[in-house]
Amino acid sequence: MKQKIKVGIAQIAPVWLDQKSTIKKVIQYIVKAKKNGCSLVTFGEAVLPGYPFWVELTNGAKFESDVQKDLYAYYVRQAISVEQGDLAEVCEAARQKKIAVVLGTIEKAANRGGHSCYCSLVYIDEKGNIKNVHRKTMPTYEERLVWATGDGHGLRTFPHEAFTLGALNCWENWMPLSRAALYGQGENLHVALWPGNVRNTIDLTRYIAKESRSYVISVCGVLTKDDISNKIPHAKLIRKKAPKIMANGGSCIAGPNGTFIIPPLKNKEKLLVAEIDYNEVLRERQNFDVAGHYSRPDVTKLIVNRERQSIVEIEE
């Protein structure tokens, strides 16, 4: 197991609400990350096929709105189905390049009927196997008008070289118990996925790193008004209401002592690369280990339900 590895942070704009074109772009950055020596590459929240920026711009809370119904129907069609193999090309790229991938997606979940959208981060290992699909446990604010509520099934960690990898979506990273669920499973390389804004990453990235004594990657997207294609329903309306910049990035990485290795990057598509050293985790755990020698499980303990939720349990 390598003690030092390179990690890639792909701060990209999706081909907004276009599944197939965005997959091609994701694969390009997987290849680019491997060329730069990375064993892991990460992508922002909902980058495939894109974050639902239209909701706050088009009166998304209006009931029985044809605008919202049109956009939702289009969104579901562009969402990915793991069971139907929509990520097969991404998995094959990971396998060929021998690189692990953390990818933010919008998932239409087969075990929940296939018509609702979940904000799901997907972890693909270096052999091209999908090892985890974590559905965001609680969509944030207006996201609840588009995304369904997830569950704890994906609150898991995975070995990656000498490290133990875990990930959370967006404001899940603010949730102390969600973080603790990963800390307790040995996490020391944390990936925080964001749609894209420096305000989200400038403080919390360093805080989580210092709290957990882990490396923390915050990976974001970027998006401008010019990225709204005419193919999208009500594109003209969305562009009329949209600011010039809808997502300004903010991707960064902090070390286990809470200092930035790469500070937040703003308003630019770029592959950021950093070398991280497992020994730095061990050095910082000397005086504080939140799930180890500084914990008191006899006093406080977390119970996690990792059952995949469904309304049907079939017995043959």
DSSP string, 89-155: HHHHHHHHHT-EEEEEEEEE-GGGTS-SEEEEEEEE-TTS-EEEEEE-SS--GGGGGTBPP--STT-
Model confidence pLDDT, tens digit, residues 86-104: 999 999 999 999 999 999 9
How far is C-alpha 248 from the geometric centre of its chain's CA atoms?
A: 16
pLDDT of 251 reads 98
pTM of the model: 0.97
Predicted confidence at residue 303, as pLDDT, reads 97
C-beta of residue 267 within 8 angstroms of C-beta of residue 214: no
3-class secondary-structure state, position 275: strand
Catalytic hit among 25, 97, 108, 136? 136
**What is the pLDDT, as a whole number, of residue 201?**
98
Active site residue 45: yes
**What is the structure's pLDDT at 79?**
98
Residue 27: phi and psi, rounded to 5, are -65, -40
User: Catalytic site residue 170?
Assistant: yes
Burial-class residue 233 by CB neighbours within 10 Å (0-12, 13-18, 19+): middle
Segment 63-79 shows an average pLDDT of 98
**φ, ψ of residue 8 in degrees (nearest 5):** -115, 140
Banded pLDDT at 81 (limits 50, 70, 90)? very high
Nearest Cα to Cα of residue 122 among 102, 137, 108: 102
Mean pLDDT of the chain: 98
The answer to whether the bond into 14 is cis (omega within 30° of 0) is no
Q: For residue 67, what pLDDT band results from cuts at 50, 70 and 90?
A: very high
Q: DSSP letter at 53?
A: T
Q: What is the CA radius of gyration of the chain?
A: 19
Class of the domain covering 4-285: alpha beta
- Render pLDDT for 250-296 as a digit per residue (tens, 0 to 9): 999 999 999 999 999 999 999 999 999 999 999 999 999 999 999 99
Query: Which of these is catalytic: 91, 117, 170, 220?
Result: 170
Domain positions in the chain are 4-285
* Model confidence pLDDT, tens digit, residues 141-185: 999 999 999 999 999 999 999 999 999 999 999 999 999 999 999
**Active-site hit among 45, 107, 143, 172:** 45
DSSP states of 155-213: ---EEETTEEEEEEEGGGGG-HHHHHHHHTTT--EEEEE-SS-HHHHTTHHHHHHHHHT
Helix (H) or strand (E) holding 54, with range, is helix 54-57
pLDDT score, position 116: 98
d(CA 1, CA 4): 9
Question: What is the tens place of the pLDDT at every residue in 103-123?
Answer: 999 999 999 999 999 999 999
Per-residue model confidence (pLDDT) at position 190: 99
User: How many residues appear in the chain?
Assistant: 316
User: Average pLDDT, stretch 64-84?
Assistant: 98
H or E element: which one contains 274?
strand 270-277
Q: Give the pLDDT band of residue 65 (cuts 50, 70, 90).
A: very high
- The predicted structure's pLDDT at residue 115: 97
DSSP helix/strand/coil, 253 = strand
Residues 143, 144, 147, 153: what is their CA dihedral angle, to the nearest 10 degrees?
A: 110
How large is the average pLDDT for residues 15-23? 98
Q: What integer is the mean pLDDT of 220-238?
A: 98
Instruction: Judge whether 301 counts as a catalytic residue.
Output: no
**Encoded tokens for 267:** 């308003």
Task: Give the pLDDT score at 236.
Answer: 97
